[in-house]
Amino acid sequence: MRKRILFYLTLLFITASFTSVKAQADNDIFGYYFIQGRVPAAFADIGEIHLAGDYGAQQNPPVHGLIRPKKGKDFPVNKPVLNGKNISFTTKTVGGVSYQFEGAFVKFPNNAARRETVLQGVLRKFRGKTKIAEASVKFRYEAGD
């Protein structure tokens, strides 16, 4: 009887562990995100947003991503906060400018079709502590390398 209980507990633990790993893989945010539709003028200089997801978190030191402008230096992303489908992040300040994003995944990238909206929310741009731009934006996803 004890062996049977131990067997079922072990089986339950393995199943729960596999389910947890699969859920994390399904929700990995790694990829390149591009603003969809009409790009607000204040954000026209953004080429892409890269989020490093699980892959970047495993690097030493961790790499969380970046906002890559079409010209100039990248804005490294500070550790994003992912709570279910909700995500928020800020960037380091570069040349006196930084960004902040708060939004939610409509679909996680691995479940989305090409050119489909996967992320939407509010993007803000700051010069120092002063907000200089804010817009509701939608992003499409590309897998990248």
Dump pLDDT digits (tens) for 105-145. Answer: 999 888 877 778 999 999 999 999 999 999 999 999 887 65
Q: In 10 A of CB 56, how many CB atoms?
A: 20
* Cα distance between residue 76 and residue 7, in whole Å: 48
Q: Tokens 């800020």 — which residue?
A: 90
Read off the pLDDT of each residue in 91-105 and give the average, rounded to a whole number: 98
Read off the pLDDT of each residue in 40-46 and give the average, rounded to a whole number: 96
Residue 25, pLDDT score: 52
Q: What is the domain partition of the chain in residue ranges? A: 28-142
Domain spanning 28-142: which superfamily?
Avidin-like (2.40.128.30)
Of the pLDDT bands very low, low, confident and very high (cuts 50, 70, 90), residue 85 is very high
Is the pTM of the predicted complex or chain greater than 0.85? Answer: no
Q: Is 136 exposed, middle or buried (0-12, 13-18, 19+ CB in 10 A)?
A: exposed
